Structure 1
Amino acid sequence: MTRICVAISEVDAASALAVAKDTITRGAESLEFRFDAMPVLPDDLTPFKELTVRRIATLREKDQGGAWEGNIEKKWEFLWRAAEAGFDVDLEFGHPLIARAHILKPSRVIISYHDLKKTPSTSRVIETLVECSARADMAKAAFTVRTMKDLDQVVEGGMWFGLSRERFTIIGMGELGTVTRVLAHKLGCTLAYASSGPGRETAPGQLDLETMKWLGKEPLVTGLVGYPVDHSISPSLHNAAFHAAGVRGIYLKWVTLSDELDEFLDVVDALGVKGFNVTIPHKETIIPNLDRLDPVAEKIGAVNTVTNEDGKLIGRNTDVIGVERTFEKNGVDINGKMALVLGAGGASRSVCSFLASKGAEVDITNRTMGKAES
């Protein structure tokens, strides 16, 4: 069972306690206190004992994305007091204090690793989890996801390590890695970290508690695959529609280059992504990877929507419907008219199909004339 763990980063104990109590009322299932964010560490940790969920004490070092710059003994003294006050303790992988971690029992010890620059190979992701797990009650590994290949390696590494039955959490940091947070349960993670609210994130790509609670344990995950996608307003439109319709789902953006389509489809299969929209440059090249096309997509030779039906990927084309409704709404009769289409990609195929079906005479121009002629 994956639990939502709210990461709290406040400048003093009183503020941290106030946020903690508020998040518990809103459904937080565990809490991580980033004590490294406090200029002065609290002397008295007794007030934290009244919190009714599991608590983690973290003094993250700067090279692992934290703010702690104190010496080892001061860190040990504080973490010892935190353990005495009932906290679980987070220690960075490779830290000298790991040799003393057994003394903190019965508190649980999390050994964590954060790569703030990249995601290594799948084998190295697995090795990192194994090494963290060797001295810990739970391993935690977070990697910066820059490309679809990175995301595939995080997901594959997590899936393989999950077969060990050890307690662990794996995270893909950044917007492209958000799906690893939303579908943390699919990866077998013990915790899914969240912020206390929008703008209070402690790591890139972290979602807020309200969003995580709304999505629940089995959210409908969809999105847009292609490159570029930064300009797309599809996430805003679809996420607003999900909320209005009461659908517990999320629509994400997946930057995927021409040579990364296989990696993307691996992620879809592994995590059970329910469907996605397709934009350039994949509307045509994705077709050989699909199990079936609907009649419209098959006729046009381009796909803009894929649904995952029990592991079978079904390609559809709804561009034609969109074009048709645009002309109908504006009362434009194109029968017998001449039409010039700029471009010869997947969307162009849909436009040309509609125009021809309504009796228009169609001409196509494109930067690459060979593609226009085909």
Structure 2
Amino acid sequence: MKICAAISETSVVEAVTSGINSAALGADLVEIRFDALSELPEDLSVFQKIPLPKIATLRTPAQGGNCQLTEEERQQFFTKCSASFEYLDLEYDSPLAKLDFDQCEKIVSYHDFSKTPTTAEIVEIINNLQKIANIAKAAFYIHSVSDLYELIKAAEVVTGRYILIGMGELGELTRICCDKLGSEITYAAPQKGKETAPGQIDVCSLKNIEKDYFLAGIIGNPVSHSRSPAMHNAAFKSLDIGGRYLRFKCEEEELSKIVEIVKILGIRGLNITIPHKQAVINYLDELDEKAKLAGAVNCLINDDKRLKGTNTDIAGFRESFRAIGAEVRGKKALIIGAGGAARACATFLAQAQAQIYIINRTPQKAEKLAAEFGGTVVNAITEDFDIIINCTPMGMEGYADDPSITDNIFHEQQIVMDAVPVPEITTFLEKAKRNRATTISGREMLIYQAIDAFEVWSGQKPDYSIMSEAYGEKR
């Protein structure tokens, strides 16, 4: 991985200092964004203090920069830079891109901050840039898994010297996996908070990832609320594993693309959340016994391109009840919902020998689940249950509460759990608390299933305290 620190300071002194610091952190080269400086320096010799190869960039507004100079003035400046910089970065739509500059290599850049084109269009852009460049550079904004897929497939086709970048959160993967994409350089912020493009990672984080290159993530819709990235990234740090956990908003029709991305880039594992825990099974090579019992997968393992499914939600439910010393055997337990989380919950309750009852807005799904786990379908929630567990997304970000769930169904002798992890205390749990029921937050289930998943992927078990503390950090 060849890391370039992209430096965008307003003064020459700050830019040089940032370059020296980037070298100390392990950057391989630096880019000086001269368009960010308050004024262009007459003397460029001060940049020789940076002990790394350097790229001179004077980005135009049309390509995301601030340079207001004429092309003639830009040419004069780049000619001066060519004597002391190893690379010049020139925009594809500038006449300067077709000129030759002695003593340095020419990077010709194309940026699209609004979209990602098709694979064929990306290949054509790179090929056209290579006709006038030593190194072709193309960056596109990644809005979806489909966009990411198009860029990755383009990288399998193009040849020669190039840099291919995805911008935005979903584009982080292209910055980390630059070697697998064939990119000559990956750009990084000199430090957190100094990013020059959306989705850019800092030098120090990239160097840590470089050590072991362990990638994992979460797919679902929505995932913007997920605390999993913060929790797993904290676990990587605590166990000194060079890893990164990413977030992928994924539509059901994109499942085939995300699993191919997993195989191409060697992503070790994925957590699966709403609404894909059952649909993802169609794209896997193997299910373990836990996944078969639950009929749902929340954890994918990539074993040398053979994709295996397991279910760590079962452990999430089990350990959450165990943590408070709750007795489940023989208790009347009501599951609200009949999706993937409900299936894991039913597996846990069946193993614990509870009496299972199910209610769902689609009765046919409730009947199917009840038939599989020896449960009973009910039409209303009453105070008759010892345990009530919500396994629907009600109350989660983007989902409404259910007004039919009123305070009078809860009482002091009950245990009430909500599988929704964010917010930590849902309206559902607030009602239960008001009526003195013992409550279990979805936060606990999220932490325990995450510990199990992390161990499945890495063979190492993070401490509960590490993930618990990181839960409060939204990244």
What is the TM-score with the length of structure 1 in the denominator? 0.96
The one-letter amino acid paired with 2:104 is S
After superposing the two structures, state which structure 1 stretch, 86-95 or 123-132, moved more: 86-95
Corresponding position: 1:127 with 2:121: no
**1:28-177 superposed matches below 5 A:** 28-100=27-99, 102=100, 104-161=101-158, 164=159, 166-177=160-171
1:239 partner SS: helix
- Equivalent position to 1:318, from 312, 327, 342: 312
Q: How many residues align?
A: 368
Contact 1:108/1:137 (<8 A) preserved: yes
1:252-297 C-alpha deviation (Å, 9 max, x unpaired): 1011011111111121111111111111111100111111000110
1:242 partner SS: helix
Q: Distance in 2 between matches of 1:272 and 1:247?
A: 16
Contact 1:276/1:306 (<8 A) preserved: yes
Q: Distance in 1 between matches of 2:114 and 2:211?
A: 30
Q: Distance in 1 between matches of 2:94 and 2:129?
A: 11
Task: Give the aligned CA root-mean-square deviation in angstroms.
Answer: 1.1
1:114 partner SS: strand
**Distance apart, 1:12 and its partner CA:** 1.8
1:44 partner SS: coil
**Distance apart, 1:358 and its partner CA:** 1.8
Contact 1:197/1:208 (<8 A) preserved: yes
Matching residue of 1:250: 244
Q: Distance in 2 between matches of 1:215 and 1:49?
A: 29
The one-letter amino acid paired with 2:326 is V
Matching residue of 2:288: 294
**Distance apart, 1:217 and its partner CA:** 5.8
2:201 partner SS: coil
The one-letter amino acid paired with 2:97 is I
Taking every aligned residue pair, what percent have the same amino acid on both sides?
A: 40
Q: Distance in 1 between matches of 2:86 and 2:11?
A: 17
1:150-175 C-alpha deviation (Å, 9 max, x unpaired): 000111111211xx2x1111111000
Q: Distance in 1 between matches of 2:97 and 2:120?
A: 24
Matching residue of 1:240: 234
The one-letter amino acid paired with 2:256 is D
Q: Distance in 2 between matches of 1:259 and 1:330?
A: 40
Q: Which stretches of structure 1, 4 residues or more, deviate above 6 A after TM superposition?
A: none
- Contiguous gaps of at least 5 residues in structure 2: 369-475
Q: Distance in 2 between matches of 1:86 and 1:238?
A: 40
2:157 partner SS: helix
- Contiguous gaps of at least 5 residues in structure 1: none
Higher alpha-carbon Rg: 2
**1:168-317 superposed matches below 5 A:** 168-216=162-210, 218-317=212-311
Contact 2:56/2:85 (<8 A) preserved: no
- Equivalent position to 1:347, from 341, 345, 348: 341
The one-letter amino acid paired with 2:45 is T
Contact 2:83/2:103 (<8 A) preserved: no
